[in-house]
Structure 1
Amino acid sequence: MGEYLPDSLILDILSRLTDSSDLARCQVASKTLHSVAQDVQYINLICTLSRYQKSRSEEGRNRVTPFKKIFRKLVQNSRRLESISIGVDRSLAGIAFDDLDDEYDDLYLNDIEFVKDWLPRVCEDLRFLSISDFWLQSCWRKSEVLALISSCCHRLLELEVKNAWLSVDGLNPMPRLTSLTLEFVRLEDKDLNKVNECFPCLQVLSLVGVGGLKEPKIRLLHLKTCLWTVSNAPLSLSIFAPNLVELKLKCIKPKFLVLETPLLYDFHLSLEKAGNVRVKEFLNLQNLQLESSSFCSIIDAFPLGNTIKKLKVDLLKSTEPETIRKLDLGALFNVFPNVNSLSLGPRAWSEVETCFRKGGLENRTEMKELKEIMAHLVIDDIDVSLSIIYCILDKCTNLSSLALLIHREVDSITASKFISRCTVDYPQVRWKWGMWKEGTEDTWLSDDI
């Protein structure tokens, strides 16, 4: 190929390879490919489960090139790298401790000696760095890789570290870093405080399953987008971010929750139960997604309401049988009077039906702002389900679009009868039909019947 194509076209082709192991093969195929490949500006190398298994087998042990060796070679053969992603495939997470020798470090990718061997060669031009470690080898080894990265990667904009036990000792300020992802990482509260201090210009922060935190605080003045999935049950959880626009927060039931995010526009909150909540007023909140096993306590705790235009609601499975799960649609309308788009998850709709059977729709006023509804239905009693739908249509005088997903286990005769009656009785409504089942993706069948 190198004899017939210009170098610029070869470089363009090589730059489109998503797996850098293919790039490594090209480098040994010909002198031309080896030369041109040095100008590729990224490395994306992932250890797959099949490679891992081959490297552990008797016959493959001496035939499979060590993963770290391939990576080192790629770095050595590169002239200017702007992006590096090295890691293990998610499928390796299924390997048990009993199947691994503790002394192995061939996939310990946050090993400070390993990183020292290649990072100084590429740090000058590096903008993106992702290291996804092999948890079974990294979880009992505390790594100081953050200090090394902060000492030499002065132009780094995005950093991801996954499946590691991290130390913040020696961490230096990185004022140019704007995006940070820490996923399944061991930290302590003082470590998170150090992150706040040394990464002051973060605009995007993702903390997923970060363990070891008891009273974590995020205090970042420039933060705009935040994903925080808390796997344990901290005593308190605080976010101070005056410019935060988008927040996805998933936690269990912290005793204290403090949010000072006045400019929040898009908020996804998954919370089992609200304890002591302190929230500054949301001035611009438009999109709200709520998941809780105690919906009413969430509503009482948060100063939500008039600004919400798009609302999505569902109930979490409760670990406490006595938890009050009441979700009355009329009360929901009273709290969110200006919603124009409403989505009800499976458990939310089930609770709405339960409340409707007991007392109808409590709201006595018309919902003039509501334009569209999406709901996940289980049709146990077709007349009850129809009564709710018709009651909503009578209350919501400007409602023009209903997207209804029927559970896959509802028999086809019942589903067809339900669909027919809805479309005949309210022909002016734009109906959309689909099917749903927990654990699978929703399937849409038709539009505008």
Structure 2
Amino acid sequence: MPNLTHLTLEFIRLDDEDLSKLNECFPCLQILNLIGVGGLENPKIHLSQVKTFRWEVSNAPWSLAIHAPNLVHLELKCVEPEILILDTPSVSTLKLTIDELGPTVQVDGLASLKNLRIESSDLKSLLQLFASDREIRTLDLELPVSVNCVDLYHEVKPDYLVQLFSRITEVKLSPRFSCVLMSLLCLCTNHESAGRLEKLLVHLPASHITACPFVPLLSVSAPSCEVTVLFHADTSDAVRQAAASVWPPFVRGLPRFPEITWRWGTWQ
């Protein structure tokens, strides 16, 4: 099938050497999905033409290596490989779900990275590796179900997160991460310098508290910022109405306040 451009393999067993045949068998491949593919030990995958690659590793291989010069969109879900190599110089969007980074990581080939999503308990290492020294435009963070506010505080301090967000154009706080972070932002010191943050998405837990919990994030936003607030479906109408009527004038009264466009919604 030399003209095949889209391939999905789900819940099958492959040996490491089988991956090397992908280029040979499918020279025109543009989109590749490997979902729950088992049997791999030290997979090294070379993709000469693929632009979009989704790889959910079902077992726990010792090492993972991706060499793909034309890859633009990469979604990788794995456990804790001892060696992780991403030789993907054209990737602009990376979605990474990983338990923990191993001791050897080579990600020098991410010169084009702009959009980053991370789901992990090893946030500090991952943010320092992928976000701290790069011009990330969009950042989306999520936590595993097992992580609570104490775990997050010990892993990465809220002040570090606020400073990091101030250098990013769009920040999306996915449900578990957002709900945990809201309980920690009160520990932040004052941040009053204007940042680059132009779009912020937060998920709020069901609560009776009507005070705005994410003011530290607004204090480092750009002069004009769009804020989307999603209330949990169990949040009462009274709390929603109070937030919508109180938060905008409260923020306008801060010493340095951005021009905020508020959007309201619900999440389950």
TM-score (normalised: structure 1): 0.53
Aligned with residue 197 of structure 2, among 370, 373, 381 = 370
| Amino acid corresponding to residue 53 of structure 2 in structure 1 | C
Q: Deviations over 1:312-361 (max 9, x none)?
A: 1111223899965645453134445531111101221233223323x215
> Is 1:350 matched up with 2:179?
yes
CA contact (8 A) 2:32 2:54 kept: yes
Largest Rg, 1 or 2: 1
Q: What's the CA shift for 1:254? A: 1.9
| Amino acid corresponding to residue 75 of structure 2 in structure 1 | K
Report the secondary structure of 2:45's partner residue.
Answer: strand
Identify the residue that residue 99 of structure 2 maps to in structure 1: 272
Q: What's the CA shift for 1:382? A: 2.3
Identify the residue that residue 34 of structure 2 maps to in structure 1: 207
Higher relative contact order (CA 8 A, sep 6+): 2
Aligned-pair Cα RMSD in Å: 2.7
CA contact (8 A) 1:349 1:375 kept: yes
Identify the residue that residue 430 of structure 1 maps to in structure 2: 261
Counterpart-to-counterpart distance in 2, 1:300 and 1:219: 27
Counterpart-to-counterpart distance in 1, 2:194 and 2:109: 24
The 5-angstrom pairing of residues 111-122 of structure 1 reads: none
Aligned with residue 184 of structure 1, among 11, 17, 20 = 11
> Is 1:195 matched up with 2:30?
no
Q: What's the CA shift for 1:405? A: 0.5
Aligned with residue 134 of structure 2, among 301, 306, 320 = 306
Counterpart-to-counterpart distance in 1, 2:94 and 2:245: 37
> Is 1:285 matched up with 2:110?
no
CA contact (8 A) 1:306 1:337 kept: no
Check 1:232–1:365 CA distance in 2 against 1; reply closer, same or farther (3 A cut). farther
Q: What's the CA shift for 1:196? A: 4.0
Check 1:361–1:399 CA distance in 2 against 1; reply closer, same or farther (3 A cut). farther
Counterpart-to-counterpart distance in 1, 2:110 and 2:36: 27
How many residues are matched? 260
> Is 1:318 matched up with 2:146?
yes
Counterpart-to-counterpart distance in 2, 1:366 and 1:375: 21
Counterpart-to-counterpart distance in 1, 2:129 and 2:204: 28
| Amino acid corresponding to residue 121 of structure 2 in structure 1 | S
Q: What's the CA shift for 1:369? A: 1.3
| Amino acid corresponding to residue 142 of structure 2 in structure 1 | D
Counterpart-to-counterpart distance in 1, 2:158 and 2:223: 17
> Is 1:235 matched up with 2:66?
no
Report percent identity of matched pairs.
Answer: 35
Counterpart-to-counterpart distance in 1, 2:147 and 2:251: 40
CA contact (8 A) 1:342 1:373 kept: yes
Check 1:215–1:318 CA distance in 2 against 1; reply closer, same or farther (3 A cut). farther
Q: Deviations over 1:59-103 (max 9, x none)?
A: xxxxxxxxxxxxxxxxxxxxxxxxxxxxxxxxxxxxxxxxxxxxx
CA contact (8 A) 2:37 2:58 kept: yes
Q: What's the CA shift for 1:285? A: 1.2
Identify the residue that residue 395 of structure 1 maps to in structure 2: 220
Higher share in strand: 2
Counterpart-to-counterpart distance in 1, 2:117 and 2:236: 31
Identify the residue that residue 405 of structure 1 maps to in structure 2: 230
Counterpart-to-counterpart distance in 1, 2:171 and 2:131: 19
Check 1:309–1:319 CA distance in 2 against 1; reply closer, same or farther (3 A cut). closer
Counterpart-to-counterpart distance in 1, 2:149 and 2:231: 27
Q: Deviations over 1:194-223 (max 9, x none)?
A: 334433442221111112112112112222
CA contact (8 A) 2:54 2:76 kept: yes
Q: What's the CA shift for 1:286? A: 1.3
Counterpart-to-counterpart distance in 1, 2:55 and 2:179: 29
Identify the residue that residue 416 of structure 1 maps to in structure 2: 241
Aligned with residue 340 of structure 1, among 169, 173, 185 = 169
Q: What's the CA shift for 1:366? A: 2.5
The 5-angstrom pairing of residues 253-272 of structure 1 reads: 253-272=80-99
Contiguous gaps of at least 5 residues in structure 2: 253-258
